[in-house]
Amino acid sequence: MIYTVTFNPSIDYIVRLKRFTPGEINRVNYEQILPGGKGINVSIVLKNLGHESTALGFTAGFTGTAMRQMLASFGVTEDFVPLSEGFSRINVKIKAERETEINGQGPVITEDAQRALFDKLDRLTRGDILVLAGSIPNTLPDDIYERIMAQLEGRGILIAADATKNLLRRVLKYRPFLIKPNNHELGEMFGVELKTDDEIVAHAKKLQEEGARNVLVSMAGDGAILLTDTGVFYRALAPKGTLVNSVGAGDSMVAGFLAGYIESDGSYECAFHMGVATGSASAFSENLATRDEALALLKTISM
């Protein structure tokens, strides 16, 4: 079974308008409401690709109820820890001449709620896959990724961690199965700007030396690079298409990688190609990728 964790999920209110003018009334010409959060995106795309998962995390209030209802409509199983106070955050994403985001704060997550999440994670068994994705809200300890991975260490659980900077580097000692920085995040970890494939590979290898097993580096329109724990290196160009929405593309790549890995009985090459195709399919669509969209792009991927 695959499990995803989103510590601070959201309701995303997405609007499009020709021009956004601060201080004035702005009228939208397109709007959409979706459940948000990196782990939730992974679960939705996995379902679209034909793979079941269970979304874990915390929800509160009327927005938490709406989020669970929307996930049910997408066919996604959830086992969130309910919070008695506050409400799950609302994020506003404005798409005009430039993209502007206003992200809510989210509810207070109590120690009892944290223990409840750890109890759920304690049920995972050998062969399960766990995706830890996204930032940590300020009401949680900043070492919660490490605490989770320490609790599950040695159980044969494959953990994919999609985080940034020190949050990611601190968990490498637990040898996560997969990490997915983008090229800019990879450079920021080492205080450099990475301009060539050779530079990206060299710094991805440094993360392997710190403990990461497989390092998947997304590079937006330039494709992606994968360094595997078998010492093999893969490079793929991005499929051709029109960028419509970059939100969720990286999460879709993680979901596609896991789906490809499962369907190919552990082939990193198949997992990599499916990850690139699925991430691109989401980027080229108003919504997160479907299986048909991902498979159509999979045929076009070149090394």
List the catalytic residues: 251
The token pair at 195 is 């301009």
HSE of 220, CA atoms in CB hemisphere, 13 A: 9
Residue 21, C-beta contacts closer than 8 angstroms, at least 6 positions apart: none
The Cα–Cα gap between 224 and 109 comes to 36
Q: Are 88 and 64 in contact (CB under 8 A)?
A: yes
Is residue 257 packed enough to be buried (19+ CB in 10 Å), middle (13-18) or exposed (0-12)?
A: buried
Residue 174, C-beta contacts closer than 8 angstroms, at least 6 positions apart: 146, 149, 150, 153, 159, 211
Cα dihedral 279/1/108/141 (nearest 10)? -90
